């Protein structure tokens, strides 16, 4: 027996096995492989440096892409009338600025009036809240064993109030000082959105052309689906913000709750935080009704928010968000919390569109690739067994259906 036969026998091959069925694995490390690995490492390092040093610019770019995909259907509609894309984008900006200006003109005076009223009566509301807390504390102390717990809770609430009240008073000043910075950032964002439109006509074919010819159509479809997910989510969220804000402000005004306009605006903006925003605006509205009116009015506000949430879940979301990507609520909440931890409010706003894009990539790219690789690596006997198990009882009848004449 020569050495070759000894090796074959050690490998456990059957005496009559086909030599072509044997699998041999070899790893070859060439200079080109080392260079490619080094290039990948350098690219990762440069990418990490860019992300850490230019994070604000990258966030602005992502926001510009999402905003651009949100208005893309409107731009496509305007281009049907032979309006160039840059002019269509500028026209959308002008219409949006006019609508925003009209809303500001209608709401600015009531907003300022309610803010001034809130600032004037804030000490009175705090004193009333303190009195209600003292009354509740006296009632609970009568129970005896709860005294130590009440002392701990009271001390914690007092410390929290000392930290929160100065920040609350400083909110109007912070809003005024941040208006100019917000205006500059808005101009930069809109400019980047315009140039994104100008670049996509050449950028998308270039990126798709980097893929193998057999995969280019699939890659183009994936990019299109991601763009639709971005645009659909943003458009749906904006419409939901307007509807929920309007319903909340109108409902609170009909109930006679003070500062209904401010609370409606708060409810609209918190729609940017899916599943978490309504709890925030609802809690604030209930506390305002409890402090400024009475517990009965707070109960009415609770019933109002239950009604609004039912309308949102059964009417607004199915109609408005029907074309957006469906994401599991748990995934949405986790994504929003991760976004808050990483980038604050901006991260929470970007969390759901980014999660939608990741979901599309997983479902349309990674999962099919894993299935294909599993099918290729399966032994021939396993594939034959799988085909045999999935075949219909009468294969010939299934493959040649009878056509009635």
Domain boundaries, the chain: 43-130+183-376
Task: Say yes or no to pLDDT of 29 above 70.
Answer: no
Least confident of 22-31, 131-140, 390-399: 390-399
pLDDT of residue 9: 45
The mean per-residue pLDDT over the stretch 281-291 comes to: 88
pLDDT at position 299, please? 92
∠ CA(219), CA(222), CA(223), 5° rounding?
A: 90
Q: Is the pLDDT of residue 242 over 70?
A: yes
Phi, psi of 243 (to 5 degrees): -70, -45
Mean pLDDT for 65-78 is: 88
Between 185 and 19, the more confident residue is 185
Lowest-pLDDT choice from 16-30, 179-193, 319-333 = 16-30
3-state SS class at 267: helix
Taking a C-beta distance cutoff of 8 angstroms, is the pair 234, 66 a contact? Answer: yes
Q: Enumerate residues 6+ apart whose C-beta is below 8 A from 288.
A: 257, 258, 259, 263
More confident residue, 143 or 196: 196
Give residue-wise pLDDT tens across range 318-328. 666 555 667 77
d(CA 283, CA 277): 10
What does the alpha-carbon distance between residue 130 and residue 135 come to, in Å, rounded to a whole number?
A: 9
**Per-residue pLDDT tens over the stretch 254-277:** 999 888 988 999 999 888 887 788
pLDDT of 51 higher than 50: yes
- CA 315, chain centre distance (Å): 21
Confidence of residue 393 (pLDDT cuts 50, 70, 90): very low
pLDDT at residue number 248: 93
160 CB neighbour count, 10 Å cutoff: 10
Q: Is 262 exposed, middle or buried (0-12, 13-18, 19+ CB in 10 A)?
A: buried
pLDDT reported for residue 254 = 93
Q: What is the pLDDT of residue 85?
A: 85
Gap between the Cα atoms of 405 and 402, Å rounded: 10
Q: 47: part of which helix (H) or strand (E)?
A: helix 31-53
Instruction: Tell me how far CA of residue 156 lies from CA of 28, 141, 165, 379, in angstroms.
Output: 66, 17, 14, 65
Gap between the Cα atoms of 133 and 287, Å rounded: 13
Model confidence pLDDT, tens digit, residues 329-348: 788 888 888 888 888 888 88
- Please write the tens of the pLDDT for every residue from 109-144: 888 888 888 888 777 877 777 777 667 667 666 665
The rounded percent of the chain whose pLDDT value lies above 70 is 72
| Per-residue tokens: 255 | 């109930």
- Is the pLDDT assigned to residue 215 strictly greater than 90? no
pLDDT band at 380 (very low <50, low <70, confident <90, very high): low
Instruction: Give the pLDDT of residue 252.
Output: 92
DSSP for 361-376 reads HIIIIIHHHHHHHHHH
Residue 62, token pair as written in the block: 């992502």
Distance CA 350, CA 66 (A): 9
As given in the structure block, the two tokens for residue 13 are 């091959």
Q: Pick from 66, 106, 71: which is nearest to 91 by CA?
A: 71
Q: How far is the C-alpha of 203 from the C-alpha of 126, rounded, in Å? A: 57
DSSP 91-120: HHHHHHHHHHHHHHHHHHHHHHHHHHHHHH
Q: How far apart are CA 372 and CA 197, in angstroms?
A: 36
């Amino acid at each position: 027996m020569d050495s070759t036969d000894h090796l074959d026998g050690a490998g456990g091959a059957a005496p009559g096995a086909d030599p072509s069925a044997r699998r041999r694995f070899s790893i070859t490390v060439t200079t080109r492989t080392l260079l490619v690995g080094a290039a990948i490492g350098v690219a990762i390092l440069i990418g990490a440096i860019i992300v850490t040093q230019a994070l604000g610019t990258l966030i602005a770019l992502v926001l510009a892409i999402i905003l651009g995909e949100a208005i893309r259907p409107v731009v496509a509609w305007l281009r049907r009338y032979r309006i160039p894309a840059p002019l269509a984008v500028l026209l959308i900006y002008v219409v949006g600025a006019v609508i925003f200006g009209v809303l500001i003109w209608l709401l600015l005076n009531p907003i300022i009036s309610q803010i001034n009223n809130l600032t004037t009566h804030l000490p009175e509301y705090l004193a009333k809240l303190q009195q209600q807390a003292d009354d509740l504390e006296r009632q609970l102390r009568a129970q005896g064993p709860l005294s130590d717990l009440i002392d701990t809770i009271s001390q914690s609430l007092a410390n929290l109030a000392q930290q929160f009240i100065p920040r609350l008073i400083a909110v109007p000043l912070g809003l005024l000082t941040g208006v100019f910075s917000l205006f500059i950032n808005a101009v930069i964002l809109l400019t980047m959105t315009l140039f994104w439109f100008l670049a996509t006509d050449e950028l998308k074919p270039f990126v798709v052309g980097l893929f193998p010819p057999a995969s280019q159509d699939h890659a183009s479809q994936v990019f299109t689906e991601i763009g639709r997910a971005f645009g659909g989510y943003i458009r749906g969220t904006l419409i939901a913000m307007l509807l929920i804000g309007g319903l909340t402000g109108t409902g609170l005004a009909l109930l006679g709750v003070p500062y209904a306009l401010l609370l409606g605006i708060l409810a609209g903006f918190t729609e940017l935080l899916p599943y978490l925003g309504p709890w925030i605006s609802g809690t604030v509205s209930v506390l305002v009704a409890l402090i400024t009116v009475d517990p009965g009015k707070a109960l009415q506000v609770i019933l109002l928010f239950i009604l609004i949430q039912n309308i949102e879940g059964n009417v607004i979301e199915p109609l408005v968000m029907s074309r957006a990507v469906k994401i599991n609520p748990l995934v949405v909440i986790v994504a929003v919390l991760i976004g808050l931890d990483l980038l604050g409010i901006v991260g929470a706003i970007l969390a759901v569109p980014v999660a939608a894009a990741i979901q599309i990539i997983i479902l349309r790219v990674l999962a099919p690739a894993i299935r294909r690789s599993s099918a290729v690596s399966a032994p021939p006997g396993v594939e034959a067994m799988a085909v045999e198990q999935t075949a219909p009882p009468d294969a010939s009848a299934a493959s040649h259906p009878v056509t009635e004449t």
